[in-house]
Amino acid sequence: MIAAQLSRPGNPVRTMARVGALLTPYFDKETPRALREIEMEDWAVALADFPYWAIERAAKWWKSADNPQRRKRPLEGDIAERCRIEMRAVRAARVRARSGWAGTEAPEDRERCSPEAAARAMPGRS
């Protein structure tokens, strides 16, 4: 249920406002308004399936010191790719939920692995 809520696509108006804020610092070569509108439609399509929180995190990441390309103006595919990275934990939770493993088993209830069995399972490590 939580994974579904975290995956809900963001409000398109809010998403486009975020994209506008992301692109504002980058040089604008005085692109005609009609072309800018088409460009924003491309952004809207590329980000339509992502939740706002992932778009927000992707935009902040793009501008951060963690991104060596931050001085370049991003394309919609750049931010969509980063949104997929931000969504990894949600996808993992969905897979885990579908597999039926809830992770509720207490560590002391699990069967212990002997050092010999561990050595056989992970050869080359000691």
2-11, 51-60, 113-122: least confidently modelled range:
113-122
Number of domains the chain contains: 1
Indicate whether 86 belongs to any domain. Answer: yes
Q: What would the pLDDT profile of 47-63 be if each residue is shown by its tens digit?
A: 999 999 999 999 999 99
Indicate whether 16 belongs to any domain. Answer: yes
Cα gap 113→126, rounded to integer Å: 15
Predicted pLDDT of residue 117: 74
Burial class of residue 93 in the structure, from the number of CB atoms within 10 Å of its CB (0-12 exposed, 13-18 middle, 19+ buried): middle
Indicate whether 68 belongs to any domain. Answer: yes
Indicate whether 126 belongs to any domain. Answer: no
Cα gap 76→50, rounded to integer Å: 12
The residue type of 60 is: K
**Domain extent at residue 40:** 2-121
